[in-house]
Structure 1
Amino acid sequence: MDTSPLIPFRLSALIIALLAILPSAFAEYKTEYTVASDGSGDFFRIQDAIDDCKSFPDLPITIRIKEGRYREKVTVPAWNTKLSLVGEGEVVIAYNSNFKAVDRGRNSTFFTATLEVLANDFTARNITVANTSGPVGQAIALRVEGDRCAFYECKLLGNQDTVYLAGEGNRQYFEKCHIEGTVDYIFGEATAFFEDCVLLCKSGSYITAASTPQSSAYGFVFNRCTVERAEGVGEVYLGRPWRKFARTVFIDCDYGDGINSEGWKNWGWEKPEQTVFYAEYIAKGSKKVAKQRVEWSHQLSKSDLSDYSKESVLAGWEF
């Protein structure tokens, strides 16, 4: 008997069967986790949930963290890409570590972070990250060494060196975050855009210390941010260059009356006007401010602003 008419039917059935199992092939790993300190989730600890995630996943993975205070150091390794940490309620990740306690030589600072993100395509939402060492020197709360890392409505709490943004060419984004510290509390070589954030100065020192590589067109850009001071704190500086090609720009930010009239310090670099780029766009009173600022800083015009949009600064990253 001629069975040739059945062949197309059998092929079609095989294709349908293969298509049916393809989604499960991509979902052979968990894409949703819950962490809860009361035991109601998949894990008690955030790090344990991260360690259970598939490396280099095809699909994004979300870890939802129930309200609570998690006393642990958390690391997102380079292979845990496409990971989101989402706080549900008031979530605090707290850890006590500082330069002296680490005691690993001149680079001890970089080992002190409460949360260190080494992976690309990381997102954090509604999480507080705190280094609880107090005013004892360098003590990082957040260290980011991944590309395309975003933080929404997070609180980053520390003193000296609160937030370290690392990696030449890496792009990082902060929206509606609260960041506080004392000395150089936002520092590093990455390209970062801060939007609608609050910067709380806990001492009369420096907000930023960029170490922008010479090859990077942008360093740190602050858009519509608010600078606040803790009670009793005197005037502060917008920044000083950790390395001589530092680039930092403040656009339409609310300083109150807390910024020193000079605006910036040069950290001892000779002829900073030849290498450092520090600039501001102030809608009101810009001429008065320009006269008071150090002569090697810049005042932007409205026509310059398109060059400092989120899309320009973080070019190539689709949110």
Structure 2
Amino acid sequence: MATQSYNFPKIIFFVVTFSCFFIYNSNARHLSEEKLTWKRLITVDQSGEGDYETIQGAIDAVPSNNIDTTLILVKPGTYKEKVTVPENKPFIMLSGREAENTIITWDDSGNIYTSPTLSVFASDFMARYLTIQNTYGPGEKAVALRVSSKRAEFSACKFISYQDTLLDEEGSHFYSNCYIEGGTDFICGNAASLFQKCRIHSVSDIGGAITAQRRMTPEEETGFYFVECRITGIKGCTLGRPWGPYSRVVYVNSYMSNVVNPNGWDDWGKPLTHSSVYYGEYKCYGPGANRSNRVEWSQDLSNEEATALITKTMISAKSRIKH
């Protein structure tokens, strides 16, 4: 096993703190489930009964350099469109009623930066109860969601594609109770992100990697953290491989089905990364969590190493404002 000393970065604690979200307006008012207040409400309905018939039309209607909390409520339907939330339109919540019947879909491929069905560049963005999918299928990079937002939160959403489903590019992001499906590197990028109570589903039949985290230097406080998640699939997968030489991925208290390969992790044919990546597991369970045949350069975290992360995460989770 690699003997790398490690302290959990401060950034992940910021991510958890941010998950309380909606310190959105100038008064930093926290919104509760009982008293959701919006300065602007825009409805999207394909039938013509809303303010706009397309999601992009509703986003375009938000003023540039927006400072008001804006809810874009998407009525049930399948919206075949590529959607972009530009950098100059922060403080937007994009919400459906149920992810199963509110779907944003496209089928582009070939480039991770141009293929996404939904691209988010604006800060202080939130999405909930939506399915975001790229239906291109295997064979090419085909991103469903690209997140390059300084701060963003996704709740009860579904992200579906095959290769590079979720390009979690940069920023501090929180994913709660989401479903993420793909076959190869389907959670990738260099953000500092917390995934809590998410289902991660591999559709690979060749042992494809779930994550391809791209931390490039030891100074970067980025990484993917999976807490109380469920890893399922159809055949076999690995937990991650290094897109960047200092790739950092940690699974905590997560269920791993037998689709997780016994070795757990893949070095992508880059043995020099064995001493620089940080791949950790702590108190995971299920048939795929057996560490007896794990690669020796992954970490079996001690209670001391994991306590700070778990305690902070759980305290924040209990106090998290529900939206």
Give me the TM-score of the superposition, normalised by structure 2. 0.80
Q: Equivalent of 1:136, from 134, 139, 151?
A: 139
1:225 aligns with 2:221: no
For residue 73 of structure 2, give the secondary structure of its aligned residue in structure 1: strand
> Does the 8 Å CA contact 1:160/1:184 hold for their aligned counterparts?
yes
Residue identity in the other structure for 2:226: F
Q: Equivalent of 1:98, from 86, 101, 109?
A: 109
Task: Point out which structure has higher relative CO (alpha carbons under 8 A, 6+ apart).
Answer: 2
> In the aligned structure 2, how far is the partner of 1:125 from the partner of 1:283?
27
> In the aligned structure 2, how far is the partner of 1:294 from the partner of 1:36?
51
Q: Match of 2:210?
A: 207
Cα distance, 1:293 vs structure 2? 0.8
Residue identity in the other structure for 1:78: E
Q: Match of 1:105?
A: none
For residue 271 of structure 1, give the secondary structure of its aligned residue in structure 2: helix
> Does the 8 Å CA contact 2:39/2:69 hold for their aligned counterparts?
no
> Does the 8 Å CA contact 1:272/1:296 hold for their aligned counterparts?
no
> In the aligned structure 1, how far is the partner of 2:117 from the partner of 2:49?
24
For residue 56 of structure 2, give the secondary structure of its aligned residue in structure 1: helix
For residue 48 of structure 1, give the secondary structure of its aligned residue in structure 2: helix
For residue 260 of structure 2, give the secondary structure of its aligned residue in structure 1: coil
1:45 aligns with 2:54: yes
> In the aligned structure 1, how far is the partner of 2:228 from the partner of 2:313?
16
> Does the 8 Å CA contact 2:229/2:254 hold for their aligned counterparts?
yes
Q: CA RMSD for the aligned pairs?
A: 2.3
Pick closer, same or farther for the CA change 1:124–1:269 going to 2, 3 Å.
same
Q: Match of 2:94?
A: 85
Pick closer, same or farther for the CA change 1:268–1:165 going to 2, 3 Å.
same
Structure 1 stretches of at least 4 aligned residues deviating more than 6 Å after TM superposition:
none
5 Å matches for 1:13-24? none
Q: Which has the larger radius of gyration?
A: 1
Q: Match of 2:296?
A: 295
Cα distance, 1:121 vs structure 2? 0.5
Deviations 1:130-167 (A, max 9, x none): 10112231100000000210000000000011000112
Give me the TM-score of the superposition, normalised by structure 1. 0.81
Q: Percent identity?
A: 34
1:270 aligns with 2:304: no
Cα distance, 1:258 vs structure 2? 1.4
Pick closer, same or farther for the CA change 1:92–1:284 going to 2, 3 Å.
closer
> In the aligned structure 2, how far is the partner of 1:145 from the partner of 1:213?
17
Q: Match of 1:280?
A: 281
Residue identity in the other structure for 2:244: R
Bigger proportion of residues as helix: 1
